[in-house]
Amino acid sequence: MKKNHFFLVILLCSCFQVAAYGQRINRLINDDWLFRMSYQVHKETKQRVDLPHTWNAQDALSGKADYKRGIGNYYKDLFIDPSWKDRRIYLRFDGANAVADLFVNGKHVGEHRGGYAAFVFEITDFVQFGVVNKIWVRVNNGEQLDVLPLVGDFDFYGGLYRDVHLIVADQTSISLLDYGSPGVYLSQQKVTDQLAEIAAKVKFSSSDETTRNLQINVVVSDADKVIYKTKQAVAIPFGDTEWEQAFSLPNPHLWNGREDPFMYLVTVSLRDGDKIIDCVTQPLGLRYYRVDPNEGFFLNGKHLRLHGVCRHQDRAERGNALLPIHHQEDVALMVEMGVNATRLAHYQQAEEMYDLMDQNGIVTWAEIPFVGPGGYDDKGFVDMASFKRNGRTQLIELIRQNFNHPAICFWGLFNELSLSGDDPTAFVGELNNLAHKEDPTRLTTGASNTEGAINLVTDVIAWNRYDGWYQGMPDLTSAFFDKQHQRYPNRAMGMSEYGAGASIYHHIEKLVKTSPISWFHPEEWQLFYHMANWKIIQDRPFLWGTFVWNMFDFGAAHRTEGDRPGINDKGLVTFDRRVKKDAFYFYKANWNTTANTLHLTSKRNTVRKNKRQTFLVISSEPEVELFLNGVSQGVRQIDSEHVVKWEGVSLEKGTNTIVVRSLGSHALEDRVTLTLSD
């Protein structure tokens, strides 16, 4: 979103913190909470914490498979200004894993079940004005049979791990209680290069027992230029009501992915005479897209090969208690590598991530945590009413909270579900119908690793394939997709996961496949795996999208493999984001056409046993020259995958300096010093 959009917001809505009559106040209340686990019953056991916070940042990430899953208690003193007495008071939680119960002054306000969506409680009737009020939030990340997900190859960090807001609004306002949504929906009814038809829906909530005659204003802006505006008198009665207005924009400036992620800004304000009493702003990125079973994804009428990554929302030392800077760093690394699509797995992620997807033009697959066992025990679906009710609620929350994000093109409904026992296929069908009811404009998808009717339910389907890591070699992936495409020629299919583990401390000189469950995950095998899979992908244009598993290493406390327990090391970047693995540079050279890349692989393997070595270089430049101890070993041209190699280079005993230089339009150089051991 353009920076000067925000100046227009100030003019239209005024600032949230000024003392304009009736305007909404939104304050972060992350600081100075007290925390204790439920088993710590003594009062003196409470400790001060700031949010975001998780109690599993240490135990889960140390590889402790039975990390603490139970109840944590958060306490805060909250002063309620007496000037707010005729207004409505809310607490908004951007995320609490997994079940949260809110108490105000000892009274139970409500419960939210689900660890990844935002939720809002109105506390007007529970607070006392002009005094300090006692806030208590009881958070439970224990296993529960009716809260998704039941199982997963990732850590279920407990806590108030995202922001908490105190919101003060007029008695009549744009609703804050519609499943945590902004209360404003901008539905793209029909978009072409010549015309965009939009339906704006606004939900109101009023605690005033008399009907209020107000005015609603809708303004669409392009930077500091207003391109559309309307105002209309509205009579808002007590309770919840809706207002709808259709409008069109001729010759729209389209949101066009990485090429041009342009967005308009839509400001909806509610006025009482000349006073603004509420105001909400939302992005409007206009685009149209489709998926063809033979040719893949098209954005705004043009073919776009979606080469993407999956992303989990955790990192070293912090678990899932991330700050905005962490999301920004993650997306910057994606952009550097040339990513144009993401699968935000396996759950709803922070609002900041969807904003960053919009702003960077990254086509997004957003999904609910309907996760199956994969290669583990347990199951992801139980055929009981409370489980299905929770699944429906989490899908509604995902869609309504993220409805206006142009980057989102796919709603993901499931991942690696097992069909044995309680068969989830019928319920996936229910979710598919619900997704289309909530949002008729987007496609549904799923990530499958099994055969069966479940793969025919969603609009498009994708598959998790690990040939060359867990089983066989990568050529099994090509055979699989060719067979599926032949069997279902009218079914659009993609690859939702593919990946291999790698430790930056593990290396091999001769390419030999390792065991995925061993303590040895050489970086060289991961690079080979991705090189082979990228060639398979390139040769199959019918794949509508492909997503590397994973962009970053992530926490999985039950794993005992790689260079330490508790980590899934399939990331292209290390868990702490400090080191880009060799495979990162391979994708950067192939995906980021504007970057200058020259990378000598296996540089971390500084002590070699074999005299004759193969050196593999990744480059965006057409020709590269390699030098051994100052002597040229020849000039080589890169291949179609931006790789070049020198085989049979003889090292000298002791220290050897390897230098590679590009001979293209950019003078690039990379080097390493190696030792040939006795």
| Catalytic positions, written as ranges | 416
* Cα gap 369→152, rounded to integer Å: 9
Q: Which residue has the tokens 């006692």?
A: 134
Q: Which helix (H) or strand (E) holds 656?
A: strand 654-662
Structure tokens at 356: 């960053």
Q: Are the beta carbons of 267 and 281 closer than 8 angstroms?
A: yes
Distance of CA 347 to the CA centre of its chain: 8
Cα torsion 100, 104, 110, 116: sign? negative
In the chain the first and final C-alpha atoms are separated, in Å, by: 59
213: Cβ contacts below 8 Å, ≥ 6 apart:
233, 234, 235
Q: For the chain, percent helix, then strand, then coil, each to nearest 5?
A: 20, 40, 40
To the nearest 10°, the Cα dihedral for 596, 601, 603, 607? -160
Number of Cβ within a 10 Å radius of residue 15: 9
Which helix (H) or strand (E) segment holds residue 102: the answer is strand 99-104
* Rounded distance between C-alpha atoms, residue 263 and residue 188, angstroms: 13
Residue 586, H or E segment: helix 582-591
Q: Which of 473, 469, 503 is nearest to 571 (CA)?
A: 503
Dist CA 202 CA 215 (whole Å): 13
Q: For residues 115 and 98, give the distance between their C-alpha atoms in angstroms, rounded to a whole number.
A: 4
Q: Extract the tokens encoding 468.
A: 């060359």
